[in-house]
Amino acid sequence: MVAAAAFVGLVLGVGALVLSLALLSGFQAHVRTRLAEEAPHVLVAPAGRPDFTAAEGAAAKLALLDGVVSVTPVVRGRGWITARGQAVPAVLVGREQRDGIRLDPAQARQLSILAGEDVTIVSSRTRLSPLGPVPLTASIRVTEVAALATGRKQPEAVLPAGMARRLFGLPEGGATGFELRLSDPEAAPAMALAVREALGAETTATTTWQEANRPLLLALRLERVAIFATVFLVVIVAGLNLAATSAVLAATRRGDAAVLTVLGASPRLLGRIFLFAGLLLGFAGTLAGLGLGFVLAVVLDATHAIPLPAELFALAHVPFRPAARDLLAVGAFSLVWSFVSSFVPARMAARVDVTEALRAG
Amino acid sequence: MPGEPLLVAESLARGFGEGEGRLELFSALSLTLGAGEAVAIVGPSGCGKSSLLHLLAGLDRPDAGRVLVDGKDWASLAPEPKARWRGEAVGFVFQMHHLLPELTAEENVALPLLLAGVADSAARAQARELLARVGLVRQATSLPRILSGGERQRVAIARAVVRRPRLLLCDEPTGSLDAAHAADVLDLLLGTARERAGALLLVTHDPGVAARCGTVLTLSSGGLVPA
């Protein structure tokens, strides 16, 4: 009965931990997928010079790299967006095949602008006029107000590449950088190395999507460790229950331990026998808990059992993604804790007072 | 004809408790048992017969004196070699059989062999052979709870002698049995002791059982005296 309670406790503890980690993995995988979908996987920028010229053929060289799915030239600079007497500083990004300007909701809010209205872009570059240097300006229609990729520190306004080149004084075909999308987003760090090798390590700088979102990814990892440590407390309690069970087992089987001693069992062997009994319980509980957590996670995910308001979370249901490394980590920690919990009671059993135990019956 | 001494107990002292409440069981008890000897020790309840057996088997430590089995002093052995030597040299029969309840009769008899590292199949074969010798081959797969008192004690005797120990120590082996079963068990003990063990030391409070052994000693006033 006592052993059954310890077993159930361990099963529930391990199962809860697996389920919690699967839930966390589900949400974190969603965040990473969105990051990888929306943000460029590798940003390529010039180092020690303002831009890439068309004559360099950098885009063609990048397109030839194995694993590169697309190369998008961008013209990036700083300026102001003005409308109705208001002006907001902005990071301006020029892209090919873009018609009109896309504003971030924060920018649109500050300017009280809606899609379909016109704004004026004021560049940080100037041209000489009879009155002296004046900033370069251009008028453009707002075609879209939408948030950009997750994890960007500053809001960006996206406008046609040709207009951006004029505003920032770049020649035809010039670019201040390239955005690469890869067939395997996780291979971005290796690709960054390959890019610097292809374009010249000293004149090229790269930023991977992991580097650009390092604080967020670090927070996700910390969250994972915190959840593991918190929910593992349940397993710790279950392990203490196992220790109590092992102690009860050692006490109730004291007579048997004494008989085994009389038959030639050494204290070390007795300790091993009782340790094995505790470990067997720990192993069975851990295995059953892993199975329970895994099956629950798979079923809850497959049946979309817990719905979410999609407009708030960009997800229609709570995702569960049980990962092999989580199962291995939970299993290993639980087994180690089972060992620790069974060790002391096993040592107690090994030091049985035979005379006393036989007298007690 | 007694042979080389198998068991030597020299000036044993053992007591329990502290101060005024201390109970001295014996203070200078000596005993020598040679190969081929069968000795019965009698005495009133609580005089220390079982405690003496535990000392002789190396299960308890004397307050003074020493015990040698086949020349080896229990006190000189570390826990591991001591356990090995006990399993090899001493067979022990309890009054209350003390069979492990989850194991069948065959498994109980095979247990000392398994603890000594004998392969399972070989250990079971030897156990079956011994169970046949004590007339219990049909009960080999039975659990102790469905055996009678006499059958359990026969299984316990088979377990005690399965490793062919040179010294067989029995603590009131017929104490829980009726007269008919007690006589059977005693026949078996003396027979198997003669056949498989070098010497038999039996503790009993029953004068009839003691009389079946060659020598009868009384534990009295802290020492052993001929009955």
Q: For A80-111, what is each residue's pLDDT tens digit?
A: 999 988 899 999 999 887 788 998 888 888 88
SS3 A41: coil
Of B51, B79, B83, the CB nearest to A264: B83
Residues of B in contact with A265 (CB under 8 A): 83, 87, 115
* Separation between Cα atoms, residue A104 and residue A89, nearest integer Å: 12
CATH class of B5-226: alpha beta
Adjacent-strand bridge partners of B14? B26
A244, pLDDT greater than 60: yes
- Alpha-carbon distance A250 to nearest alpha carbon in chain B (angstroms): 15
A259, pLDDT greater than 50: yes
Element (H, E) at B81: helix B79-89
pLDDT tens-digit series, residues A162-182: 999 999 888 888 889 999 999
Of A265, A267, A358, the CB nearest to B115: A265
A148, pLDDT greater than 80: no
* Cα–Cα distance list, A298 to A10, A313, A321, A327 (Å): 20, 21, 7, 13
A155, pLDDT greater than 90: no
pLDDT tens-digit series, residues B20-72: 888 888 888 999 998 888 899 998 888 888 889 999 999 899 999 999 998 89
The answer to whether the CB atoms of B59 and A264 lie below 8 A apart is: no
Q: Identify the burial level of A169 via C-beta atoms within 10 angstroms of its C-beta, where 0-12 means exposed, 13-18 middle and 19 or more buried.
A: middle
pLDDT value at residue A240:
84
pLDDT value at residue B225:
85
* Separation between Cα atoms, residue A85 and residue A111, nearest integer Å: 9
pLDDT value at residue A32:
81
Of A263, A358, A361, the CB nearest to B87: A263
* Cα–Cα distance list, A1 to A245, A273, A281, A341 (Å): 10, 20, 13, 18
pLDDT value at residue A150:
47
Residues of A in contact with B98 (CB under 8 A): 255, 259, 358
What residue type is A111 in one-letter code? Answer: L
What is the rounded average pLDDT of the residues A4-22? 89
One-character DSSP codes across A267-328 = HHHHHHHHHHHHHHHHHHHHHHHHHHHHHHHHHHHHTT-SB--HHHHS-SB------HHHHH
The answer to whether the CB atoms of B54 and A264 lie below 8 A apart is: no
B→A interface, C-beta within 8 Å? 50-51, 54, 57, 59-60, 79-80, 82-84, 86-88, 92, 94, 96, 98, 100, 111-112, 115-116, 159, 163
Computed over every residue of chain A, the mean pLDDT equals 87
* Separation between Cα atoms, residue B219 and residue B110, nearest integer Å: 34
pLDDT tens-digit series, residues A111-133: 888 889 999 999 988 888 888 88
Residue A56 carries which DSSP code? G
Using only C-alpha atoms, chain A has a radius of gyration, in whole angstroms, of: 32
Element (H, E) at B10: strand B5-16
pLDDT tens-digit series, residues A192-234: 999 998 888 888 899 998 888 888 888 888 888 888 888 888 8
Nearest to A43 by CA among A157, A182, A160: A182
The answer to whether the CB atoms of B100 and A268 lie below 8 A apart is: no
Q: In angstroms, how far is CA A127 from the centroid of its own chain?
A: 46
* Separation between Cα atoms, residue A20 and residue A232, nearest integer Å: 10
**Could you say which residues of chain B have pLDDT below 50?**
1-2
Give the residue from chain A lying closest to B78, CA to CA. A266
pLDDT value at residue A217:
84
pLDDT value at residue A246:
82
What residue type is A255 in one-letter code? Answer: G
* Separation between Cα atoms, residue B147 and residue B130, nearest integer Å: 17
Tell me how many degrees the CA angle A166-A167-A168 measures, rounded to the nearest 5.
Answer: 95
Of B84, B94, B96, the CB nearest to A264: B84
* Separation between Cα atoms, residue B185 and residue B154, nearest integer Å: 7
* Separation between Cα atoms, residue B54 and residue B42, nearest integer Å: 16
What ipTM does the predicted assembly reach?
0.85
Q: Which two tokens stand for residue A256?
A: 């048997």
What residue type is B126 in one-letter code? Answer: Q
Domain boundaries, chain B: 5-226
